[in-house]
A and B are shown apart, each in its own frame.
Chain A
Amino acid sequence: MSIIKTKNLTFEYIRRDEEGNVEGITTAVDDVTLNVRAGEFIAILGHNGSGKSTLAKHINAILHPTEGTVWVDGRDTSDESQVWEIRQTAGMVFQNPDNQIIGQVVEEDVGFGPENMGVPTQEIWERVAESLRAVGMYQYRKSSPNKLSGGQKQRVSIAGVLAMHPKCIILDEPTAMLDPNGRREVIRAVRGLNDVEKITVVLITHYMEETIHADRIFVMESGRVAMEGTPKEIFSQVERLKELRLDVPQVTLLAHELKGRGLRLPDGILTTQELVEAMKRNGYL
């Protein structure tokens, strides 16, 4: 079943100079047609300015297409009357946790969404508790968000979206401002939501390592989907990714280097485990 579908999605905006005269038109998303099935884990890669975030903002109706159509769970995002339904279906988490947390106490912050949806009080508390448990932050429910680390704050932001019971979560570089530990915590929480709760995940990131467990990766370039495939398929193309200003995970790069030195290794190795096994199979270890 399809949860996010775009057909010939194009988004243009008009650039203006200081006096408001039109300078030109930028096409940020250019004729994108894609289909995300319910329960999938999708990663979107692409260099700065490739159109990733603009695409993502169409999924919960922050932006509306200039041309083409976006459907979220069967609802057309350009239909004004459906906007609230769409935003409840597809929740968004942004880069900076400090811009998204408003409550004085963690559980209050997480309850903000369902409260605004008019959920009965008893159920709000249930949702808050279950959302905080899902991201491993239940023991901090009475804390002040100010006292949390970046990774913890970001997990509270995710819980805030979860409490609205979305079918889909879009995360726009959720780990860009975090240290390695915080990054690990957030990615683990997101993978848990996808595995256990079967929530569809769309993860935008610049860290290649975070995408190796995705079901599919889309690589954006100049507003178009330049590559699409499983992590293995995508990361087998080391040179192509470099052309697109991207990278591959360190293990993949090491395997690629070793191949260049004449070792017999398969393409698209993504984890240390896989590399060790491939080395054993071919008698190097």
Chain B
Amino acid sequence: MESNQHLDNLAHIRSLMEKSTRFLSLSGLTGVAAGIYALIAAFIAWWYLDNPTVAATYSRLVHPLQLSGILTHYLFFVALAAATVALSLVTGILFTMRKASKRGETVWNKASKRMAINLMIPLAAGGLFCAQLINYGLPELVAPAMLIFYGLALINGSKYTLEDIRYLGLIEIALGILNLFLISYGLWFWAIGFGVMHIVYGVVMYYKYEA
């Protein structure tokens, strides 16, 4: 009887410590959705690169902007990436809000703020880095740089959310490094890292914590 009470107290302490430092409401479905969007984006990018009529139609469409040829080309990828990130974020926040309300946790608390800030630091650095890679005419390096910085962001953020995210970060970094040695396969590595891995991880996390 008394032992049960002590055990219960220890469990209470443990759960409070974890709840207050880690954001545990991150939904696995976020990963699945982000992965699907990334695969669609990779497919659109491939379609654009592989199909001259698609590229020509697009050029005519943005012609009023009066951009140079190469800028028109880059704008396509920047817009595609921005749309993918925006859609992933919105869907992710929705799934996470749903999981948080189920767990009786608030979405915007100290732990989630800490997680967001620690994710954002490497991501912002990576974003600027990639922008300059394009600026200097090194677009082949964008996919590996995105994978590596994203992996670093996940490792950094994993201290404040589900620990498993750390391993996804390591995988993303490994893919980025490998991509550096197989530089012409950027789109494939990007699709595996941001598409396939997100889906696989999302499903695993969903069954581990939510199902």
Verify that A and B bind, or say they do not.
Answer: no
